[in-house]
Structure formats: structure tokens, C-alpha cells
């Protein structure tokens, strides 16, 4: 079953377009996506998934399972960066460890969307409220990552024997909470996703005819837009491969093993909460994915001492393609093995 799922995922149009982008970059093709278009398609995907999720949330309501799932998602976004930091700190300085940990505590919306597409191909149902979990998992990891960097720096200040990590007192304490919270909660992608979720909920609850009018835009165009976006992501991911040499074997290993471990934890939570198979896969993907957009933007502003080539190349160059190509079907095989069919 696992081999069948992998092949089915590899032969899906979005993944094939991702490989086409990788191949174009590796062969030095002059294929290039004009810069405004990837941003436009990214915004479209967030709007569509947020709106559709809000509609489904209105239909399902805020029941016990919904609230428990959202609570578990937020808890994971708090715990994953902390545990990841403790592992990464054995080999990296506090700033780089915190930045990488924040990336892995957060989520990749595109990986989530790809998993939804995979479930649609398999005709496995899932609930729209998982988009609420997606929307709420990005920001906590950003805050935790910055706090870890600052707290660790403060401790290191008191231990001058570790000279390479010693920091200036002002630098260690110069956390600007207003800027941090603004970047964490008003980041454009997060704001659009949450806003679209609320709009979808309101339209479905009070003006159901509006949902039908939106369907050609949010549903029929969605699959093609995802293919186009993953083509661009393939180009970018291949370009990041050159930076992996700076990351080293330890970080590359972490970028593969961490998603697997976090997915297994997610599987245990999904089974404990009694999620259906589709929701269980999406929850595992949320736990296993890593941010390469919102978190890097926040880290560059709030933790400029961290090396962007480390946390971007690992999340985008390793974890993203691993999850899209191999991770999703492997997680689905685990779901089919351990989550009873509803």
C-alpha cells in the first residue's frame, strides 16, 4: 500500500510540476516565473483554502473535537520549537538553533494544500476546520523562537567561558515586543488566511448563496493554481540545494528526521482524539511541515544574528520536497494502518 501511495503521489500533476521546476533549475534552463505571479498565486491559494475552510467550519460547527484539535495544534506549535531547540543547541549557537527551531515549529501552507489535493485524489474525506488549526499554528512558533534566542543569549551572557556565544547585554535584551507580535500575527499570509477563514464562515452562515458564487474561483481554479505555484517552488528549492553544504550533515539529517518524528507524535494525538483518516493526515502534515516564508521573514527582522542560509535551506531545500514527495504518502500509509476508517 505504501509503495502504491508513493507512486500515486509522484504521478500527481502538482508534484510532477514541482519536479519540472527542479529539473529546469538543475539543467540551467532559462525558465523563469515573473516575480509578481508567484506572490499572486500564493495569495490566491491562501484565500481559497481559508474561504473553503471557513465554509466547512460553519457547516461542522465548533464542537468538542474541533476545539480539541485546534488546541492540540497550538500546543504542538509551542512544544515543537522548544524540543527542536534543545536538540539543535547541541551543535548550533543559540540564535541559529532558535531560528531553525521556529521554522520547524511553524507550518507550510503549501504542504498542507498539497496534502488536501492528495486526499481529494484518493477520495478520502476531511473536514474544513483543519484550516483553523493551520491558521493558528504559524504565530506561536515565531514568538517562541525569538524568546528562546533572547533567553538563551541572556544565560550565555553570564557564562563568559563560552566566548563564541557571548553577547552584548543590550543586544540580548533588545527584544521589541511590538514589532515581534506585529510580524507574528499581522504577517500578510497569516492575516489573509485568518481573514478568509472568517469571511467564509460568515458567508456560509448568513448568506449561503454567496458560497455558490465563489465556487468557480475557490474550487475550479484551485488545482491549476497549485500546479503553477509548485512549478515555481521547484525552481526555488533547486536553487537552495547549493546552500545545503553550509548546513552540514547534522542539519540535513535533522531536516529529514524531525518531520518524521513530529508526524508520529501527530499520529498519536490524532488517534487519541478520534480524528477521521483525512483529518489525521492533515494534522500529521501540520506537525511535520516547516515554514519557509513567514518564519524566515520574522527571523530576519527579530533575530538578525541567525544565518538565513541555515533555516531557509533546510526547511525549503530538504523538508519541503521530502514532505511533498515522500512524506505525505508515508504519513497516509501510517494513517491507514493505525486510524480506523469511519
> Is residue 31 domain-resident?
no
pLDDT at 86: 95
Domain that holds residue 157: 2-22+36-338
> Is residue 29 domain-resident?
no
pLDDT at 242: 75
34 pLDDT more than 60? yes
Instruction: Give the residue-averaged pLDDT of 163-168.
Output: 41
295-320 exposure pattern, b = at least 16 Cβ within 10 A, e = fewer = bbbbbeebbeebbebbbbbbbbbbbb
> Is residue 30 domain-resident?
no
pLDDT bin (cut points 50, 70, 90) of residue 158 is: very low
- Kindly report the pTM of this predicted structure: 0.84
DSSP state, 27?
Answer: T
> Is residue 268 domain-resident?
yes
120 pLDDT more than 50? yes
Cell 454567496 found at: 210
DSSP letters, 154-197, are: HHHHT-TTSGGG---HHHHH---HHHHHHHHHS-HHHHHHHHHH
Give the C-alpha separation, 128 to 132, whole Å. 8
Q: How high does pLDDT run on average in the chain?
A: 86
CATH number at 56 reads 1.20.1530
Count of structural domains within the chain:
1
| Alpha-carbon dihedral angle through residues 265, 269, 274, 275, given to the nearest 10 degrees | -70
> Is residue 28 domain-resident?
no
> Is residue 27 domain-resident?
no
Give the C-alpha separation, 35 to 110, whole Å. 18
pLDDT at 42: 85
Instruction: Give the residue-averaged pLDDT of 90-118.
Output: 93
Task: Kindly report, residue by residue over 281-302, the tens digit of the pLDDT.
Answer: 999 999 999 998 778 877 877 7
Give the C-alpha separation, 259 to 324, whole Å. 12
> Is residue 282 domain-resident?
yes
Instruction: Give the residue-averaged pLDDT of 213-235.
Output: 89
Amino acid at each position: 500500500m505504501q509503495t502504491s501511495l508513493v507512486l500515486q503521489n509522484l504521478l500527481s500533476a502538482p508534484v510532477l510540476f514541482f519536479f519540472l521546476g527542479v529539473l529546469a533549475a538543475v539543467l540551467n534552463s532559462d525558465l523563469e516565473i515573473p516575480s509578481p505571479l508567484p506572490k499572486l498565486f500564493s495569495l490566491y491559494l491562501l484565500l481559497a483554502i481559508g474561504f473553503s475552510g471557513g465554509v466547512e467550519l460553519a457547516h461542522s460547527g465548533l464542537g468538542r473535537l474541533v476545539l480539541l484539535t485546534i488546541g492540540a495544534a497550538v500546543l504542538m506549535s509551542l512544544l515543537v520549537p522548544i524540543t527542536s531547540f534543545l536538540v539543535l543547541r547541541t551543535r548550533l549557537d543559540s540564535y541559529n538553533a532558535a531560528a531553525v527551531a521556529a521554522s520547524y515549529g511553524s507550518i507550510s501552507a503549501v504542504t498542507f494544500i498539497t496534502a488536501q489535493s492528495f486526499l481529494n485524489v484518493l477520495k478520502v474525506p476531511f473536514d474544513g476546520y483543519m484550516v483553523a488549526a493551520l491558521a493558528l499554528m504559524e504565530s506561536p512558533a515565531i514568538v517562541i523562537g525569538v524568546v528562546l534566542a533572547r533567553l538563551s543569549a541572556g544565560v550565555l551572557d553570564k557564562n563568559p567561558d563560552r566566548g563564541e556565544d557571548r553577547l552584548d547585554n543590550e543586544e540580548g535584551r533588545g527584544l521589541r515586543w511590538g514589532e515581534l507580535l506585529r510580524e507574528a500575527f499581522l504577517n500578510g499570509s497569516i492575516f489573509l488566511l485568518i481573514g478568509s477563514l472568517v469571511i467564509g464562515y460568515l458567508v456560509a452562515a448568513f448568506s449561503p448563496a454567496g458560497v455558490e458564487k465563489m465556487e468557480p474561483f475557490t474550487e475550479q481554479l484551485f488545482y491549476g493554481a497549485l500546479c503553477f505555484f509548485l512549478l515555481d517552488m521547484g525552481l526555488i528549492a533547486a536553487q537552495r540545494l547549493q546552500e545545503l553544504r553550509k548546513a552540514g550533515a547534522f542539519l540535513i539529517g535533522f531536516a529529514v528526521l524531525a518531520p518524521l518524528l513530529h508526524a508520529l507524535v501527530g499520529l498519536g494525538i490524532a488517534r487519541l482524539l478520534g480524528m477521521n483518516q483525512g483529518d489525521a493526515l492533515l494534522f500529521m502534515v501540520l506537525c511535520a511541515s516547516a515554514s519557509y516564508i513567514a518564519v524566515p521573514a520574522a527571523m530576519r527582522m527579530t533575530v538578525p544574528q541567525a544565518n538565513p542560509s541555515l533555516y531557509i535551506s533546510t526547511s525549503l531545500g530538504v523538508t519541503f520536497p521530502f514532505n511533498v514527495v515522500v512524506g505525505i504518502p508515508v504519513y497516509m500509509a501510517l494513517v491507514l494502518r493505525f486510524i480506523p476508517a469511519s
